[in-house]
Amino acid sequence: MKRFANQNVVITGAAAGLGRVLAVEFAREGARVVIADKNDAAATVAEARQAGGAADALRCDVTKEADVVAMCEQAVALLGGQVDVLVNNAGWNGKANLVKDMKLADWEFTLRVNLTGTMLVSRGFIPAMMQRKRGCIVNISSNVGRRGLPFRADYVCSKWALLGFTQTLALELVAHGIRVNAVCPGPIVGDRIEQLVKMHADAEGVPFAEMHRAWENVPM
Q: Roughly how many angstroms between the first and final C-alpha of the chain, as a whole number?
A: 28
Residue in 102, 107, 98, 203 with CA at minimum distance from that of residue 161: 107
Decide if 116 contacts 161 (C-beta within 8 A). no
Residues in the chain: 220
d(CA 213, CA 16): 24
Decide if 71 contacts 58 (C-beta within 8 A). yes
Name the 3-class secondary structure at 11: strand
Q: Which residues lie across from 55 on neighbouring strands?
A: 33
Respond yes or no: is residue 155 known to be catalytic.
yes
Decide if 63 contacts 116 (C-beta within 8 A). yes
Count of alpha carbons within 13 Å of 5, Cβ hemisphere only?
Answer: 3
Of 92, 155, 160, 165, the active-site residue reads 155
Which residues are tagged catalytic?
155
